Amino acid sequence: MPEAPMPEASAPGHRAPGTEDEPSAASPRRVGLFLALGLLALLGAGVLRISTRLGAQEELREVTAAVTVPSVRIIRPRSVEPRPLTLPGRLQAWAEAPVYARTNGFVARRLADIGDRVQAGQVLALIDTPDLDQQLAAAEAATATARAQRDLASRTAQRWNELSARNVVSQQATDERRGDLAARTAQLSQAEAEVNRLRALTGFKQVLAPFDGVVTSRAIDVGGLIVSGSTSSPPLFTVTDMSRLRLYVRVPQAYTGSIRTGMKAEFIVPEYGDRSFTAELTRTSDAVDVQSGAMLVQFAADNRDGALKPGGYAQVRLELPPEPSAAPQLRVPASALIFRAGGTSIAVVDAEGRVTVKPVRISRDLGAELDIASGLEATDRVIDSPSDAIRSGDKVRLTGDRLSGHGSVGAHLPDHC
């Protein structure tokens, strides 16, 4: 049987008919796909980079605009309300009298001591005056002599007048007797005046209280030497009327316009803690002291219970109404002021963030705060701590507002560019 022919071996790289080389056919498409994806990636990266750069430029513009437009904080002015004013005061007795001696001598008896309540005319001490007693006795004797001489001169002048009427004696001799009578009469008057003076000094042997009060000082004791007429030495006694007290307060000049006679004040003293007392303004000095820059005012305080002590320190609280003016006054912090050559001014901002610099007039300087009399409205939004370079028409951004005199910041307002 003939042998079947053997199939020819395929040459290397040669594929049988009807078969396809799938890897070789798909390779160009795959490469094209890869190229397309690469191009898209590059395009996306370029777009992203451009977008990022544009965003950075926009952000830079915003930052630049924010730096160009300054941010400010605003405050709200508030109306001036009655505000208590606390000042130091000094209590003094309604009446205080140092009692001195009017005659020389020694203390025979002491009838009062410090803390004793005395009545007007009450004897505080008795003074022994031996020298004065002798002077009084001598003066009374001299008065008796002068009276006898006056009586003799009177009878003599009467006789000479009768003789002169009958032309027995000369007129010259009669006039001499009349002149002697006049001289003796004057001498008698002088002697009687001396007796009255010494008797008056004798009356000062009793040291008397000048009015009802309390003995607050004593500088004598039994047997002590008393020398009258010297005010350099301490007084024998000091009598003080403490039923009422005077309260003296020095009010600074800025508040003197609100001081009115009859206004009330409350005060406390250290020895009674929080217990308050009431006083009424009775007098003012109506003048400002050059050295202290304050006006002295006097209050009267009832002290019938004796709780208050003269000479003590007091802390006085005054309720001062605002000064009368045509328009209500507003109060702002001192940090809102702008000092320029044209005067004092304040910068305010409107709802669109535009600045207006307003000149104002200050009625009262309270240190940290100021009362504005004119130039400011209650609805104005005042810039706190404005820049020295700020001008009307400038654009600002608002970061918040607060009430004048308070440190807390209120709700944030929307920014205005």
What 3-state DSSP class applies to 281? strand
The CATH number assigned to the domain holding 369 equals 2.40.420.20
Q: Render 271-335 in DSSP notation, one character per residue.
A: GGTT-EEEEEEEEEEEEE-TTT-EEEEEEEEE-TT--S-TT-EEEEEEEEPPPP-SS--EEEEGG
Q: Which pLDDT value is given to residue 362?
A: 84
Structure tokens at 266: 């409350």
The CATH number assigned to the domain holding 190 equals 1.10.287
Q: Judge whether 94 lies within some domain.
A: no
Domain ends where: 177, 202, 227?
Answer: 202
Q: Judge whether 392 lies within some domain.
A: yes
Regarding whether 143 and 76 lie in a shared domain, the answer is no
In whole angstroms, what is the distance from residue 288 CA to residue 301 CA? 24
Which amino acid makes up residue 261? T
Q: How many domains does the chain have?
A: 2
Q: Judge whether 118 lies within some domain.
A: no
Q: Judge whether 372 lies within some domain.
A: yes
Structure tokens at 47: 């777009």
Q: Which pLDDT value is given to residue 68?
A: 66
Q: Which pLDDT value is given to residue 402?
A: 54
Q: Which pLDDT value is given to residue 409?
A: 34
Q: Judge whether 286 lies within some domain.
A: no
* Entry pTM: 0.56
Domain ends where: 164, 185, 202?
Answer: 202
pLDDT (tens, 9 = 90+) of the chain, 417 residues, equals 444 444 444 444 444 444 445 555 557 777 777 777 777 777 777 777 777 877 777 776 666 655 567 788 888 888 876 667 899 999 999 999 999 988 889 999 999 999 999 999 999 999 999 888 899 999 999 999 999 999 999 999 888 888 888 888 888 888 888 898 999 999 999 999 999 999 988 888 999 999 999 999 999 999 988 888 777 778 999 999 999 999 999 999 878 888 888 889 999 999 998 899 999 999 999 999 999 899 999 999 999 988 999 999 999 999 876 555 545 678 889 888 888 887 888 889 888 888 888 898 887 777 788 888 788 888 888 888 888 888 888 888 877 655 554 443 333 333 333
Domain ends where: 158, 173, 202?
Answer: 202
Q: Judge whether 360 lies within some domain.
A: yes
Instruction: Give the containing element (helix H, strand E) for 154.
Output: helix 130-165
Q: Judge whether 385 lies within some domain.
A: yes
Q: Judge whether 409 lies within some domain.
A: no
Q: Render 297-314 in DSSP notation, one character per residue.
A: EEEEEE-TT--S-TT-EE
Residue 180 domain boundaries: 130-202
- Give the strand pairing for 71-76 and 397-403: parallel
